[in-house]
């Protein structure tokens, strides 16, 4: 049996030319990016975490994808499956007060009155009936894959989607999450290494016992368990994510572990089809050997750990991690700060490097190796698959 048999099976199952999945990257990815990746022979992904309770918006995104891909449904629709936040009015008010102080110290007008934190993202876990409009829409659209981040919906929902020809994937970060996913008969397991950019996919938010497994160690642990405890015919697709930036690196990893595919996110961020800010883009384009830019893992932006390029403000914010309300309660206020700061300076700004002073710059640990010298998605893709 060929070492690449698992990646060959993956490509055959999803009619792909390459064992490459584009990470959903909520807030940065677009339907245009997903459609380009699919047309080039990978599997594009559309982030829909904000829309699990809004079937109409889901359908708009999906139909737009189809209009760009000659009617294809070969796409991964990604949703959040987090626990609803526990409310703590004192902690939440203290958090708002901290941000009011930031506004005052930096001359930004506070126009939000006695602001209350909102849970701005719905969770797929709240869907408990197969007759739910979102579920009925999804079986009508029938995307190749539906994936989940932060956890899993009910087994009943998973089975119903699968019975209608949809493969179900989930991100995991440790062995316990693997076992839960196997119990739910998941079709594909995305191993998210600690190197990965964006939100950490832990089922338990900000797990104090998180072993922070990097992708190679996580892959070894998962495969050891599967090979010892699971019938080979029952082993799901295994996809690795976190820290990948070159074709040779991807080929070596797939060959070494005989896994199904690699999921890539950070390398697409500088593309023209991404929506990152000009400041975020500059971190990729203006790197040189003297740069000391690093990434940090912080829960103080959204309420859940995420990896971002470090800035003085984000480093300061990171010291408040233990005081942060639960995800996604802090996220709306963080985004308001960035928008309000930009609005306050946009008429007089001459230094555009300051326009996102209070933003988050989600990226993987190896972001400084991810710039391909081009913003053209086709060229980036060609560079990534040239050795595959």
Q: How far is CA 292 from the centre of its chain?
A: 25
Structure tokens at 66: 């189809």
Give the pLDDT band (50/70/90) at residue 209. Answer: confident
Check pLDDT > 50 for residue 137: yes
C-beta of residue 137 within 8 angstroms of C-beta of residue 55: yes
Write the secondary structure of the chain as one string of H (helix), E (strand) and C (coil). Answer: CCCCHHHHHHHHHHCCCCCEEECCCCCCCCHHHHHHHHHCCCEEEEECHHHCCCHHHHHHHHHHHHHHCCCCCCEEEEEECCCCCCCCHHHHHHHHHHHHHHHHHCCCCCCCCCCCCCCCCCCHHHCCCCCCHHHHHHHHHCCCEEEEECCCCCHHHHHHHHHCCCEEEEEECCHHHHHHHHHCCCCEEEEECCCCCEECCCCCCCCCCCCCCCHHHHHHHHHHHHHHHCCHHHCCEEEEECCCCCHHHHHHHHHHHCCCEEEECHHHCCCCCCCCCHHHHHHHHCCCCCCCCCEEEECCCCCCCEEEECCHHHHHHHCCHHHCCCCCCCHHHHHHHHHHHHHHHCCCCCCHHHCCCCCCCECCCCHHHCCCCCCCHHHHHHHHHCCC
How far apart are alpha carbons 53 and 62 in whole angstroms?
Answer: 15
Output the pLDDT for position 23.
Answer: 99
pLDDT at residue 357 in the model: 80
Confidence of residue 1 (pLDDT cuts 50, 70, 90): very low
Virtual torsion, Cα 12, 382, 364, 68, nearest 10 deg:
-70
pLDDT per position as a tens digit, 150-161 = 999 999 999 999
Does the global pTM surpass 0.85? yes
Domain ranges of the chain: 1-84+120-271+375-388, 85-118+277-360
Q: Residue 355: its pLDDT value, please?
A: 52
Cα gap 203→334, rounded to integer Å: 23
Q: Rounded to whole angstroms, how far apart are CA atoms 339 and 360?
A: 12
- d(C-alpha 16, C-alpha 169), whole Å: 17
Q: How many residues are recorded in the chain?
A: 388
Chain centroid to Cα 95, Å, comes to: 25
Check residue 290 and give its pLDDT.
Answer: 54
pLDDT score, position 351:
47
Q: Which residue has the higher pLDDT, 348 or 77?
A: 77
| Apex 370 CA angle, 336 and 297, nearest 5 | 45
User: What pLDDT digit, counting tens, does each position of 350-377 carry?
Assistant: 444 455 688 999 999 999 999 999 999 9
* Across 175-189, average pLDDT: 98
pLDDT band, very low/low/confident/very high, at 344 (cuts 50, 70, 90): confident
pLDDT value at position 5? 84
> What is the distance between the terminal CA atoms of the chain, rounded to a whole angstrom?
18
Distance CA 280, CA 277 (A): 5
Comparing 18-32, 281-295, 359-373, the range with the smallest average pLDDT is 281-295
Q: Any idea which residues carry the catalytic annotation?
A: 199
For residues 356 and 39, the model is more confident at 39
Task: Could you please state the CATH topology (level 3) that the domain comprising 1-84+120-271+375-388 is classified under.
Answer: TIM Barrel (3.20.20)
Dihedral-angle region of residue 182 (phi above 0 means left; psi in -120 to 50 means alpha; beta otherwise): alpha
From CA 289, how far away is CA 64, in angstroms rounded? 41
Across the chain, what does the average pLDDT equal? 94
């Amino acid at each position: 049996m060929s070492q690449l048999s698992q990646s060959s099976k993956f490509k055959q199952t999803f009619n792909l030319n390459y064992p490459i999945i584009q990470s959903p990257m909520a807030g940065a990815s677009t339907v245009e990016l997903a459609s380009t990746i699919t047309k080039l022979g990978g599997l594009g992904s559309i982030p829909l975490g904000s829309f699990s309770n809004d079937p109409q918006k889901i359908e708009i995104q999906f139909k737009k994808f189809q209009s760009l891909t000659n009617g294809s449904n070969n796409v991964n629709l990604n949703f959040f499956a987090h626990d609803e936040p526990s409310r703590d009015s004192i902690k939440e008010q203290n958090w708002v007060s901290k941000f009011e102080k930031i506004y005052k110290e930096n001359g930004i007008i506070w126009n939000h009155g006695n602001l209350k934190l909102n849970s701005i993202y719905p969770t797929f876990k709240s869907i408990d009936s197969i007759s739910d409009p979102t579920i009925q829409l999804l079986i009508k659209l029938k995307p190749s894959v539906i994936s989940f981040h932060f956890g899993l919906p009910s087994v009943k929902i998973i089975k119903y989607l699968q019975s209608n020809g949809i493969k179900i994937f989930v991100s995991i970060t440790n062995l316990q999450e693997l076992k839960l996913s196997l119990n739910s008969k998941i079709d594909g397991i995305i191993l998210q290494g600690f190197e990965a950019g964006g939100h950490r996919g832990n089922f338990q938010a900000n797990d104090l016992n998180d072993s922070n497994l990097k992708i190679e160690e996580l892959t070894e642990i998962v495969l050891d368990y599967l090979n010892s405890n699971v019938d080979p015919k029952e082993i799901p697709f295994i996809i690795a994510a976190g820290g990948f930036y070159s074709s040779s690196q991807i080929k070596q990893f797939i060959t070494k572990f005989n896994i199904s595919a690699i999921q890539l996110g950070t390398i697409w961020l500088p593309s023209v089809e991404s929506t990152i800010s000009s400041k975020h883009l500059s971190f990729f384009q203006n790197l040189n050997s003297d740069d000391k830019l690093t990434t940090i893992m912080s829960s103080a932006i959204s309420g859940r750990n995420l990896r971002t390029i470090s800035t003085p403000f984000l480093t300061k914010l990171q010291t408040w991690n233990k005081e942060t309300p639960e995800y996604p309660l802090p996220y709306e206020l963080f985004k308001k700060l960035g928008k309000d700061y930009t609005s306050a300076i946009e008429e007089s700004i001459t230094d555009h490097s300051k326009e996102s002073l209070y933003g988050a710059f989600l990226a993987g640990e190896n972001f400084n190796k991810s710039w391909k010298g081009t913003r053209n998605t086709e060229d980036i893709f060609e560079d990534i698959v040239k050795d595959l």
